[in-house]
Amino acid sequence: MVSPLTSTSSLPLELDSRDDGTHVRQATLHRLGRLAYEASWRLQQAWVDERQLDRRPDSLLLLEHDPVFTVGRRGHASHWQRQWPTITNAGIPLLHVDRGGSVTYHGPGQIVGYPILRLRAPYRGPRVFVSMLEETILRTLGDWALRGIRRERFHGVWIDGFDGPMKIAAVGVRIVRGVTMHGFALNVCPDLRPFSWIEPCGIADCRVTSMSAQLGVALSCEAVTASLAAHFAEVFGLTWTEDATVPLDLHGGTP
């Protein structure tokens, strides 16, 4: 089912995310490379707890995942069971997690962003927060002359193809006592085959694409990560302090 398409960039003035209109917020940026999903989930949970107690500043984690399917709170077995033997044979785990949305795939070549932010004025709640994440991705795509679009009733960012829209980035979040976790996933140059084994985000006949597929050239995730970080800071009114340290064992078990 195809819904109406909306414009590429529509960030309203009310999304200015400075605390009092004069001071830009300080935040930490963590580029974590490639990381198992379970490890990043534990890390988010620990840092959300610390952010709620004001023991750490707002943060953004940017990383890639080992191959994994994740199912959010709106997931239904019909969204992945049709190709369950293929998923099983591929040896890719399927995890039920606490974000919004249904099933999606993560893997190398896809940049995942996990903002851990205190949601307060002027972020103005989850709808505006999701819109700001989409705006960050739209601006990033624009750096490579790709025109991303929004679709009514569907979160994420799309590319308007000849045969209809194709999803290039997914958004699924959770807010825990005013602090955000989970976030977005932008397809830079991943293997797109696993998306055909599921109904991505629970959308029947959803087609998925990547930046590399659209441009016909190989892209560097490192370059796209830098662009995402810069645009995230612009959209959310942040200045980055980069932090390479992670005070948590990232190689333990599932949360």
DSSP state of 110: E
Q: Is 221 a catalytic residue?
A: no
DSSP state of 50: H
Cβ contact 32:40 at 8 Å:
yes
Rounded Cα–Cα distance for residues 91 and 21 (Å): 50
Cβ contact 210:167 at 8 Å:
no
Rounded Cα–Cα distance for residues 17 and 24 (Å): 8
* Beta-strand relationship, 94-96 and 154-161: unpaired
Contact residues for 192 (Cβ-Cβ < 8 A; gap 6+): 208, 209, 210, 213
Q: Which of 189, 201, 206, 221 is catalytic?
A: 201
- Catalytically annotated residues: 201
